[in-house]
Amino acid sequence: MKLHTLLAAATALLTTALTTHAGELLKNGDFSNQMEGWWLEQHSPALGTTTFETKGPDDQPAVEIEVVEPGEKGWQIQLVQKGFAVKKDKAYTVKFLAKAEPELYGFFVALAQASKEYKTLANKAEILLSPSWKEYEFDLVATEDESDARLIFGNLGQKPGKIWFASVSLIEQE
């Protein structure tokens, strides 16, 4: 009985190690725990809502953001996760699946300070989101050290519509 328990524990540990990338900086990038670790940042007059479903590719969990009321500026609705550090001149690979209805141009992904002046820490990648699921991958290079950084999916509040995200990952390159 003890050997069976030990083998089960070892198998669970190995499975977790193999399915979680050692350099992953984000928590809950697969949205399996809904918005845990994430928040939908909103600034008046913009208004957005979140819904969770298994409508991502291959029925994986996805978050749906509905822009009910667009902002005066697109950045007034952003999907954000904070709580990790970045190092000056280090490259970070961000990968995610996304789509939007209607099409959304000028959406961006960036690294920034999570407090202080909210300064951008890594080049922004501007993206056109289409109504079909697509995988995106970008390398962002930090311009300075920051112990309290955040990943931003910004400019979501440009116009009414829906944006979906699934399988988000942020990994420090070696």
Answer yes or no: is 64 within a domain: yes
Q: Please, which pLDDT band fits residue 162 given cuts at 50, 70 and 90?
A: very high
Over residues 133-143, the pLDDT tens digits come to 999 999 999 99
159 closest CA partner among 73, 43, 54, 30: 73
- The verdict on residue 134 lying in a domain is yes
Question: What does the pLDDT look like over 1-25, one tens digit per residue?
Answer: 554 444 444 433 333 333 345 689 9
* CATH number of the domain where residue 97 is located: 2.60.120.260
Inter-residue contact 30 to 61 (CB < 8 Å) = yes
For the purposes of burial, counting CB atoms within 10 Å of the CB of 125, is it exposed (0-12), middle (13-18) or buried (19 or more)?
middle
Total tally of structural domains belonging to the chain: 1
pTM, whole model, 2 decimals? 0.84
Q: Does residue 6 form part of some domain?
A: no
Q: Evaluate whether residue 63 is within a structural domain.
A: yes
Mean pLDDT of 140-149: 96
Is 135 within the bounds of a domain? yes
55 belongs to a structural domain: yes
Q: Is the pLDDT of residue 85 over 50?
A: yes
What range does the domain containing 145 cover?
Answer: 25-172
d(CA 96, CA 138): 9
Average pLDDT over every residue of 66-80: 94
